[in-house]
């Protein structure tokens, strides 16, 4: 008999939820993590009382009451409403696109005025069948919003011309005719009171965890230790890139502690939507979870080309990569002792609620007898 029932590769949210569910069923679980900390990209660390989101702003949001109850039963969450601002040329605009934004752009005051103005903006593009992100944006919001709030940000984020991006990316931005700056439409939204790392620590409390271990560097040895493997890393890397490399987009986070000011920008998230500013977002961590400190900590987020050795933050879900992923998924299905999950193994942009949901689905499939 092998020492463990499950070997979980990756101590991110997917691996942690699965490990928690498996341990609840009395399974023996070993978790391997390549990085030197738990949590994957949701990792947060307390710096003199301020919770710092090491890998960018993370706000848990969901419309599913069961998922909200599930995470709140692990650790308490504090309600938080994400309402980022956009800075274009030094002027501030509210997001998502709503009555405040329309007022700031055009001086329209009532929903009817705003609708009429938008209709005029979009009229030249009404019959367009959008083939790319630029066309989709022009059809949805017209040239003023596109040029001010979308084009520069998007081209920085993805490192290419908006005409070369798929249209679906922009469908995620809601358009509202109320004075409501809540970025998400979901009913439940919050941040763990003690940070995301506390959530992951609780989830992994019953598992054996080893940090700074790359499973793929010694795969045969680790495989021998468990009956089943759950792999949450990159699917192309698992197969040694035998079918080719999937594309990813990376990020660089530049974090600065400011001892000469207690409040630098007065809000948690500001998006920089013009091309000339090299970063896309600037976040001030203490505004996610208000805390009284004489200093503050700010992180700038720079999109970067992905290369081996960097973190693969975003899958690039274009036609070429999606087809290549499907080919890898066929290979994966033939690995009978291996389970797959998470944003890297599924090669999909998964929000945290999607990630928890997918991990619970996998656990239910295995453990619900
Ligand atoms: P990961 O966190 O990537 O975990 C996978 C882990 O596997 C990693 O720690 C990796 O080091 C490890 N690993 C890989 N290969 C190996 C190996 N060979 N051996 C050992 N370990 C290995 N979602 C929201 O809901 N709200 C937000 O506000 C939000 N903001 C985001 C902001 C940014 C900048 C990014 C990039 C994502 C954001 N997300 C947000 C998404 C959120 O981060 C994901 O849903 C979540 O982290 C996915 O968890 P995961 O376990 O699938 O992946
Ligand atoms: N986006 C934009 N302007 C903004 C914010 C987002 O044009 O101020 C676009 C951009 O193309 C981005 C997409 O909307 O890739 C999705 O944005 P979201 O904030 O949902 O993305 P994430 O936080 O996941 O990067």
Closest residue to atom 14 of ligand 2, CA basis: 170
- Give the range among 36-45, 213-222, 315-324 with minimum mean pLDDT: 315-324
Q: Which of 157, 272, 274 for a ligand 2 pocket mutation test, highest count of atoms within 8 Å of Cβ?
A: 157
Closest residue to atom 9 of ligand 1, CA basis: 40
Distant-in-sequence, close-in-space partners of 75: CB < 8 Å, separation ≥ 6:
192, 193, 194, 198, 199, 202
| Span 77-97, average pLDDT | 98
User: Would you place residue 318 in the very low, low, confident or very high pLDDT band (cuts 50, 70, 90)?
Assistant: confident
Find the 272 Cα to ligand 2 centroid distance in Å.
Answer: 11
CB–CB of 303/157 below 8 Å?
Answer: yes
pLDDT at 166: 85
Pocket residues: Cβ below 6 A from ligand 1 = 9-15, 32-35, 40-42, 55-60, 214-216, 232-233, 251, 313, 342-344, 350-353, 355
Ligand 2, residue 271: give the atom nearest the CA: 8
Ligand nearest to the backbone CA of 358: 1
Whose CA is closest to 352, among 235, 176, 188?
A: 188
Residue owning tokens 């679980």 = 29
Find the 3 Cα to ligand 2 centroid distance in Å.
Answer: 45
pLDDT at 172: 59
pLDDT digits 0-9 by tens, 136-175? 999 999 999 999 999 999 999 999 999 998 888 787 567 8
Ligand 1, residue 354: give the atom nearest the CA: 45
- Give the range among 101-105, 135-139, 316-320 with minimum mean pLDDT: 316-320
Ligand nearest to the backbone CA of 357: 1
Of the CA atoms within 13 Å of residue 202, those in its CB half-sphere come to 14
């Amino acid at each position: 008999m092998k020492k463990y029932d499950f070997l979980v590769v990756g101590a991110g949210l997917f691996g942690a939820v699965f490990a928690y569910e498996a341990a609840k069923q009395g399974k023996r679980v070993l978790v391997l993590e390549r990085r030197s900390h738990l949590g994957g990209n949701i990792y947060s660390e307390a710096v003199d009382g301020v919770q710092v989101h090491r890998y960018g702003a993370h706000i848990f949001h969901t419309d599913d009451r069961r998922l909200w109850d599930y995470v709140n039963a692990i650790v308490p969450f504090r309600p938080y409403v994400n309402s980022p601002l956009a800075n274009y040329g030094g002027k501030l605009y509210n997001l998502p696109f709503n009555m405040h934004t329309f007022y700031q752009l055009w001086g329209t005051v009532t929903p009817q005025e705003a609708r009429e103005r938008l209709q005029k903006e979009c009229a030249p593009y009404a019959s367009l069948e959008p083939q790319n992100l630029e066309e989709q944006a022009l059809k949805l919001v017209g040239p003023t919003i596109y040029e001010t709030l979308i084009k520069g940000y998007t081209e920085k984020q993805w490192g290419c011309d908006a005409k070369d991006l798929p249209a679906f990316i922009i469908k995620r931005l809601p358009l509202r005719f109320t004075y409501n700056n809540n970025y998400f439409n979901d009913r439940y939204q919050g941040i763990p009171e003690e940070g995301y790392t506390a959530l992951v620590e609780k989830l992994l409390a019953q598992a054996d965890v080893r940090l700074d271990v790359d499973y793929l560097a010694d795969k045969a040895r680790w495989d021998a230790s468990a009956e089943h493997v759950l792999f949450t890393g990159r699917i192309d890397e698992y197969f040694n890139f035998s079918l080719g490399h999937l594309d990813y987009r990376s990020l660089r986070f530049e974090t600065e502690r400011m001892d000469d000011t207690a409040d630098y920008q007065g809000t948690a998230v500001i998006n920089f939507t013009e091309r000339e500013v090299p970063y896309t977002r600037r976040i001030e961590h203490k505004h996610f979870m208000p805390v009284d400190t004489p200093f503050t900590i700010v992180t700038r987020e720079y999109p970067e080309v992905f290369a081996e050795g960097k973190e693969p933050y975003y899958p690039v879900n274009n036609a070429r990569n999606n087809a290549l992923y499907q080919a890898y998924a066929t290979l994966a299905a033939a690995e009978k002792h291996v389970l797959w999950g998470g944003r890297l193994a599924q090669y999909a942009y998964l929000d945290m609620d999607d990630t928890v949901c997918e991990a619970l689905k996998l656990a239910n499939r295995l453990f619900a007898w």
